[in-house]
Amino acid sequence: MNKGFTTNIKIGVLGGGQLGRMLQQKALCLGLDIAFIDPDENAPCKEISARFFKGDIKDFETVYSFGKGKDVITIEIEHVNVQALEKLQQEGVKVFPQPNIIKIIQDKGLQKIFYKENNIPTSDFFLINEKSEIPLFEEHFPLMQKMRKGGYDGQGVTPMRSKLDFEAGFDTPSILEKMVDFEKELSVIVARNENGEIKSFPCVECEFNPEVNLVEFLFSPANISDEIEKKSQKIAKDVIEKLGMVGILAVELFLTKDGDILVNEVAPRPHNSGHQTIEGNYESQYGQLLRCLLNLPLGDTEIKKPSVMVNLLGEKGFIGNAVYDGIEKVLALPGVYLHLYGKAQTKPFRKMGHATVVNNTLEEAKVIAKKVQEELRIIA
């Protein structure tokens, strides 16, 4: 794709959720029209893409048929049929991230093995096949049990602190990961194009909702030292380089109380920890992904202004047609950019949208973001 840029490039995306929706919004700025496929006929991308298809992205024939005739295929969720992507790649379709890398990242056990084999710092872990093996590792408690496959948005993770937790364990192949005594949870979005050019976004700090293990607030830039920033950037770049991956990679990190940086896990796609880049950085994670897919020079990742992202979650106790109570008050606040994902139905803690607050100071952005969270209730 180095013989001049054309908007006739046929791009296909597996998954049609909010990440795909924001990718399409950016693609339209470049005159690109992306095709999406998702099992939900009312997925967020349907409203804004003329080439939206309903289909099972875990099914070989469905994925293979969708990918035929495309120039490049990417994903907005990891849980896809890799065998179909491998066949498409063999037939000349560009697939980014590459299928062999998706296969590693789909399996948290393979992820951890990759980190250890490539000297990427991560917490100690054990592999188990079934729940009955958990008591064998009691001497190593506290541990986190993580399902090797299928976990998403805080699902598939449970703590193991004592015998009382055995019953809540998952009876499926899992990793038992040494629980990290961390000071902060950080994230770095890093990108690599086909030419091997690598750029990363400044490190951000994540604050989680403990009830559902979802990001509640995200702060950009992270409140960390220059030394920790440089160390985080280096680790993120090492991961994508050693994978040899083309695309964007969210590298989730723990900053331990001893000042060490450990990789928690990675996501080979746009990520919740990069939403603030749309308004807060010169290039967004979505624009950067398009640059990777088209092998264009990577964009400027620097921060324009401090920003805070707040996830807008469905209110507890409400299931049904979504109503955005308090939206007028939120839109009257300074520096607030509202993104609603077009999901008709709400349920407790469902990601219905996000807001990014941009301000001259991070502290003031935090105050306004808290007001957004307090004022906007997504009910039914």
pLDDT in tens, 25-62: 999 999 998 999 999 999 999 999 999 999 999 999 99
Residue-by-residue DSSP string for 39-73: S-TT-GGGGT-SSEEE--TT-HHHHHHHHTT-SEE
pLDDT digits (tens, 9 = 90+) for 99-116: 999 999 999 999 999 999
- Domain 11-95 annotated CATH 3.40.50.20: yes
* 311 DSSP β-pair partners: 354
Mean of the per-residue pLDDT values of the chain? 95
Share of the chain above pLDDT 90, in %: 93
What is the model's pLDDT at position 256?
Answer: 96
How far from chain centre, in Å, is Cα 255?
Answer: 19
Check residue 153 and give its pLDDT. 67
- Write the secondary structure of 317-377 as one string of H (helix), E (strand) and C (coil): CCCEECEEECHHHHHCCCCEEEEECCCCEECCCCEEEEEEEECCCHHHHHHHHHHHHHHCE
In the chain, the amino acid numbered 228 is I
pLDDT (tens digit per residue) in 80-91? 999 999 999 999
Which of residues 2 and 209 earns the better pLDDT score? 209
For the stretch 212-263, pLDDT in tens is 778 889 999 999 999 999 999 999 999 999 999 999 999 999 999 999 999 9
Element (H, E) at 110: helix 108-117
* pTM reported for the whole predicted model: 0.95
**Is residue 349 over pLDDT 80?**
yes
Tokens of 316: 């507890």
Give the DSSP H or E segment for 102: helix 99-106
Domain ranges of the chain: 11-95, 124-178, 182-379
Domain 182-379: state its class: alpha beta
**CATH topology for the 124-178 domain:** Dna Ligase; domain 1 (3.30.1490)
Which DSSP string do the residues of 133-189 spell out, in sequence order?
GGGGGGGG-SEEEEESSS--TTTTEEEE-SGGGGGGS-SSSEEEEEPP-EEEEEEEE
What DSSP state is assigned to residue 304? Answer: S
Count of CA atoms in the C-beta half-sphere (13 A) of 100: 8
Rounded to the nearest 5 percent, the helix, strand and coil shares of the chain are: 30, 30, 40
Query: Of 99, 19, 58, 80, which is closest to residue 290 (Cα–Cα)?
Result: 19
Residues 192-222 pLDDT 10s: 999 999 999 999 999 988 777 788 899 999 9
Q: Which of 87, 82, 17 is nearest to 48 (CA)?
A: 17
pLDDT tier at 6, thresholds 50, 70, 90: confident
Q: Are 13 and 35 in contact (CB under 8 A)?
A: yes
pLDDT in tens, 308-340: 999 999 999 999 999 999 999 999 999 999 999
Q: Quote the radius of gyration of the chain (alpha carbons, Å).
A: 20
Q: Which of 252, 259, 245 is nearest to 273 (CA)?
A: 252
Question: In one letter, which amino acid is 370?
Answer: K
Reported confidence tier of residue 1, pLDDT bands at 50, 70, 90: very low
Six token digits for residue 76:
């907005």
Cα three-residue angle 94-271-187, rounded to 5 degrees: 120
Round to whole Å and give the CA distance between 132 and 358: 49
In this prediction, residue 271 carries a pLDDT of 96
